[in-house]
Amino acid sequence: MSLRIVIPSHKRHDRVFAKYLVNDPIICVAKSQADLYKEYNPDCEIVTHPDDIIGLIPKRNWMAKHFRDLFMLDDDVDACKRLYSEKGETARIRDHNEITAIIENLYDIACLLDVHVFGFTSRISPVMYDETEYLSLDKMITGCSYGVRYNKNVWWNEELKLKEDFWISCYMKYTERRVLTDLRYNFEQKNTFVNAGGLSAIRNQDEEQRSILLIRKYFGEAIRLKGQGNNGKDKTKSLVQYNISASFPY
């Protein structure tokens, strides 16, 4: 099955930055927004989902079932960077043919290894790159740029509203024991937390906290809260300061 590169979008018809990075992107939007997206993005294929699919997580579930094998780029992604660049080289990759090939090559590796979730690193600097480890089967993917090969385990919990990338990484580690991450490249978002549309209407501390606690409810002690000591006691004063990491015994 061939890979489709799909940009999920919501109320950003005039700001789909990711379409400039790759060849033949598909923009996936609610049916009621289709006309605006077609007007502002005439060179892109627009695929619509029913208007009762509300929120990014239900949208991802719908897209995975609809497209089967797809790579998802958030609409506010505006750069792909190479972390292993030599001195004097430009880290940012500007050729959309090269970026498309990078995505398709990772998909080919995922097919060979029979991995169903694959993506790129959240590391942002070349100093964080380890040349002895450029592919991983035990790290997490980053939410703005990852792909799936659909099967029964490709499922996002719709109780969540945020941190769906963390959920799918944990769920795949639990069910299939592996997630494929390419540590050589990073996809960068533009003004993630101030860009209107997308998840901006629901992204707040209360919702972050609720999502963190819900993930911990499902995966237990494998989910570590930032600021939590080895004895399990919290060093921080409130959940506002929490972030999370995962440590599975496999």
C-alpha–C-alpha distance, residues 17 and 168, integer Å:
25
Look at 143 and 123; give whichever has higher pLDDT: 143
Q: Is the C-alpha dihedral spanning 142, 143, 148, 150 positive or negative?
A: positive
Convert the pLDDT of each residue in 49-72 to its tens digit: 999 999 999 999 999 999 999 999
Q: Kindly list the domain boundaries of the chain, sorted by start residue.
A: 4-203, 204-250
Q: What integer pLDDT is reported at residue 196 of this predicted model?
A: 56
Task: Tell me the whole-structure pTM to 2 decimals.
Answer: 0.86
Q: Assign domain 4-203 one CATH number from 1.10.10, 3.40.1130, 3.90.550, 2.30.29.
A: 3.90.550
* Residue given tokens 């990484």 in the structure block: 169
Q: What integer pLDDT is reported at residue 36 of this predicted model?
A: 97
Residue 7's SS3 state is strand
| Cα dihedral value 228, 161, 9, 203, nearest 10 | -60
Convert the pLDDT of each residue in 174-217 to its tens digit: 999 999 999 999 999 986 544 555 454 545 678 888 888 889 88
Residues whose CB is less than 8 angstroms from the CB of residue 159 and which lie 6 or more positions away in sequence, other chains included = 214
Inform me whether the pLDDT recorded for 234 exceeds 50.
Answer: no
Q: What integer pLDDT is reported at residue 203 of this predicted model?
A: 55
